[in-house]
Structure 1
Amino acid sequence: MKPTHIQEFSDGRRVTMGPDTLPRFLKTPLTVLDGGDRNHLILSRLVRQEWFDDLSEQERDESLSAFLQAGGSAEAMTLELRRKESDGSYRQYTLGRGEGSESGSTVEIKVGDHTYRVTPDEVFTAEDAGEVFVHYFRHGDVPAGLSLRELVR
C-alpha cells in the first residue's frame, strides 16, 4: 500500500508509513531520543497517498512544509507543530498542555547542539508525545486542549 506519511529521524533517515501503521511505530522512536545524536523526530503528512519519490518536487516540498516535530530526550522533549493556515501562510508553534506556568519559569531542552527554553507545561515525555503523534497521524492536527505558542523566527 502506498504511504500517507513520512518520518524523518535525526540521522537523516526517512521512513514512509501507510494508513494501517500501528501506533507503536509512531511511539517507539520517541522512546530512544537522547537529546544528543538521537535528538529529534519529524512526522509529515504527504499531500497525497503516493511513494515519496513519485511525488513532484513541489508536492515533496509541500509535504515536508507541514509537520509535527519532537526534539530533546525521551524524558523531556518539546513538541512543535508547523501548519498551513487558512491565509496560505505557514506558521510554527510550540505545543503545551494549556495548564499555564509559573511566571517566568522555564525549562531547558537540549536538542543536539542547541538548547531551547520552554515553560514547564511545554515539556513532554515520550509517552505523552506518543499520544500526540498518533492523533496527528490519524487526524492531521494535534488534540484539542493543547495550547499553541507561535514561534517567531
Structure 2
Amino acid sequence: MGSHFTMERRIYMSSFAATIFISGLVTIGVSLMALLIALAVMLQSCENRNSGALNIETYDYYKIYALHAELNSLDVDFFPAICKDVAIQYINEGQYMRDLNIILGIVEDFFGCVRPLNDSKDIVLMDADDFFTSENLHSRLLMRW
C-alpha cells in the first residue's frame, strides 16, 4: 500500500494542567450559578415587597395632572381612575383639610397686611384660584433648585 502520512492537530497538556483547566471551568460555572440564584432571590424579594399598585407618597404627579386638566378645561371623566382613588385617599387621610388650613392662613396673613388707601377705592376683587395657584407653583419650582 505504500507509505501514508497524516498530520493531526492536538493539544497536549499534562494531567496537572488539565486539572487546573477543568477546575477553573468548574469555578466559573459555580460562580455563574451562584450569581443567577442570587439575582432570582433578589427579584423574588422585590416582587413580594412591591406587589400590587405602586404607592406614591407625594401627590405631585396628580397635582400636575389636575393643573393640566384645569388649564385645558377638561371634564372629570378625563381623569384616570387611579387619580380619583388618590383624591379620595387625599381627602380621607386629612391632607386636604391640612392644605386648606394652610391656604386660609396665607389668605388671612395677606388680608391682615392690606391697608385701605385714602382714594375712596374700597373694593378688592381677587380670583383666589389664579392668585394662589400661580404663586404657589412658582415658589415650589424655586425651592427645588
| Relative contact order, higher structure (CA 8 A, sep 6+) | 1
TM-score with structure 1 setting the length:
0.26
Question: Highest CA radius of gyration, 1 or 2?
Answer: 2
Per residue, is there more strand in 1 or in 2? 1
What is the TM-score normalised by the length of structure 2?
A: 0.27
